[in-house]
Structure 1
Amino acid sequence: MPVSLADVGYGFLLPALAALLSLVLLRRMLPEDAGRRYVPMFGFVLGFQLGYWLLNLGQFPPAYHFHWLPIAMILVGITSSVTEATGSTIVDRILTYFVISLVGCWFLLPNYPGLPLPWQYTALIGSALVTIVSLASRPLVTRLSGPLLTGSYFSMLAIAAVIMVLSGSISFGQITGAATGACFGLFLAALFDPKAKDQEGLAFPMIFFAFAMMMIGQTNSFSNIPQWAYYILPLTPIGMWESQSGFFKSMGGIGGSITRYLVAIHYSLIALGVVLYAEFVS
Structure 2
Amino acid sequence: MIVTYTLADFAEARNALEAEGRRRVVFVATMGALHEGHRSLIRSAHRRGDAVVISVFVNPLQFGPGEDYARYPRPLSDDLDVCDAEGVDLVLVPTVAELYPAGRQVSVSAGTMGSVLEGASRPGHFDGVLTIVLKLLHLVRPQVALFGQKDAQQVACVQRMVTDLNLDVEVVSEPTVREADGLALSSRNIFLTPAERAMACSLAAALEKAATADTVAAARIAADEVLDRVQFEPAFELDYAVMVNPTTFAEIPDDHTGPALFVVAAKVGTTRLIDNMPLHLAAVISESVELTA
Q: Given the two structures, how large is their TM-score scaled by the length of structure 1?
A: 0.28
Higher helix share: 1
Report which structure shows greater RCO (CA 8 Å, sep ≥6). 1
Q: Given the two structures, how large is their TM-score scaled by the length of structure 2?
A: 0.27
Higher strand share: 2
Give the structure with higher Rg (CA): 2
